[in-house]
Structure 1
Amino acid sequence: MEYEIKSLTPDLAEDYFDFFDNRAFSDGSPFYPCYCNAFNLSKERMKKELYQRAEDYGNGLEGWIRALRESAERMVQAGEIKGYLAYDNGIAIGWCNTNDRLSYFRTGEFDLHTLPEDQEYSHSIVPGEVKAIVCFEISPEYRGKGIATQFLHRICDDAKTEGYKYVEAYPVKDGENIEMAFTGPLRLYLKAGFEIIEQSGNTYTMRKKLIL
C-alpha cells in the first residue's frame, strides 16, 4: 500500500505534534517522550532549552514534556526540524527526520537522561552535499508495512533533485528489531543500495551516492 508522504512545513505543525502526542509511542515505547528535536540542538542549547526549562517547570515527566514540546514548537516554526510525515486517510502515522548533515549536532543513538555531548563529524563536507537521515518513528500498528522504505525512496529522490551528492544514515549494528531501531535497521539501507563507510562503536555510517 502506498501512503501519502508530505514534507514537514510549519503549516503541518499540528499534524506533527498530533502524531507524537497520540500515536508515535502508544505501545509504551522507552523513547517517550520525544519530539525529535535533540538531533539539531547543540549541547549548550539543550542545556538552556530543555534541561533548565524542565527545571523551571518543576522537573518530573510533565516538566520534561513541556520543555521538549515548547522547544520543538519553536524549531518546527523556524524550519530547523525537517523531514517527512506519512499519512493514512489524513492522519499522520509516521515520521522521518532528515536534513542537511551539517544541521545536526548528533546522530545515531544517545541518552537524554544525561546531557549528551556534541559529536564531531569526521568528514569534510559543504552544505548541500550530504542529506542525513537520523530517525524513523512509525505508529505501532503501521510498522512492518513498508512505510520506512517509502520514506527512504522519497528522501533519495528529493535529495537528488535538490543537488545532494549523498544520502547518509546511521543504523546500529545490533538494531535489527525494527520496532526499537529508530535509526532504521541495517537491512533497510543495504536493500536500498547504501554502503558502510565507517563504524564507531555500535553505529555504522552508511552512504548512498546519488550523483555519478
Structure 2
Amino acid sequence: MTWETLPVTPDRFDDFADVVNPNRRATHCWCLSHRLRGKDIEELGGGDREQAMRRLCEREHPPGVVTYHDGVPVGWCNIGPRTEIPRLAASRLIRPVDDVPVWSIVCVVVRSGHRRTGVTAHLLEGAVQYAASHGAPAVEAYPVDPEGRMDTTMAFVGTRSMFERAGFETVGTTEAVASGMPRIIMRRSITETAPGRSHLLQQQ
C-alpha cells in the first residue's frame, strides 16, 4: 500500500473534486467558504464557485493538498499562507497570536468510504510537508475540542485530539465557534521533529 500527498494543481483538480464534490454539483461545496469572500469568487470565477476554485489552483500556492492511497484520491486539506486566505486574514474572531507568518489549515475532508483507514494522519503530515517545501515556519489549525464523540460536522474543522496526534500544540483561543463549540488555535513548528515525519520532509 502506498500513500502520497500532492498539491492541487490544475491537472489534479478532478481528484480534489472526487473527494469534496463527486457529483460536481454547482451548489455543493467547492471548499471556498472559509477561504474566499463573495466578491473574490465573483472576481475569480464570475460567480461560478467551481471556476473560482480552478483559478486558485493555477496560483503559485495552490489552495491545498490531495492525499492518495494506492493512486486513489482519498483526502483533501485546504491549506495556504494565512495572508493569502482573505476571510481568515481579515477575521476578527480568529486573530493572530503573534507575527509568525504561519500557513493555515481551514478545512479537512476524508472521502466517503475511506474514513477510519488512517487517511487523516497522512493528510495532515502531507499538508505540513507542502507548507515546509514553500518555506513556512509553522502551520496552524483552528479545531474544536468537543466532549465525547465528535459530530460528523466537525470533520471540516477537526478536533484538538486529531491535531495533537499530528504534532500540533494549543497556542491560543478564538472567539469563533463551530456547531456551538469554541475553536482553538493549534500550531506545529516546521523546525520541530514530530513523530511520523516522512522521508520527503527529512530530505528537504
TM-score bracket, shorter-length normalisation: 0.7 to 0.9
Q: Is the 8 A contact 2:20 2:31 kept in 1?
A: no
Structure 2 residue aligned with 1:4:
4
Tell me which protein shows more helix as a share of its residues.
1
Aligned partner letter, 2:163: Y
Alignment of 1:179-194 (within 5 A): 179-181=152-154, 182-194=156-168
Structure 2 residue aligned with 1:125:
99
Alignment of 1:95-134 (within 5 A): 95-106=76-87, 118-120=90-92, 121-125=95-99, 129-134=101-106
Q: 2: CA distance between counterparts of 1:8 and 1:78?
A: 10
Q: 1: CA distance between counterparts of 2:84 and 2:58?
A: 16
What's the TM-score once normalised by structure 1's chain length?
0.70
Alpha-carbon displacement from aligned partner over 1:100-133 (angstroms, at most 9, x marks no partner)? 11111335xxxxxxxxx9414334536xx31211
Q: 1: CA distance between counterparts of 2:151 and 2:114?
A: 12
CA gap of 1:142–1:179, structure 2 versus 1, over 3 A, is farther
1:143 paired with 2:123, answer no
Count of equivalent residues = 180
Q: 2: CA distance between counterparts of 1:166 and 1:146?
A: 23
Aligned partner letter, 1:95: W
Structure 2 stretches of 5 or more lacking a match? Answer: 176-181, 193-204
Aligned partner letter, 1:132: S
CA gap of 1:203–1:162, structure 2 versus 1, over 3 A, is same
Deviating 4+ runs (over 6 angstroms)? none
CA RMSD in angstroms comes to 3.1
Q: Is the 8 A contact 1:24 1:137 kept in 2?
A: no
Aligned partner letter, 1:146: G
What's the TM-score once normalised by structure 2's chain length?
0.72
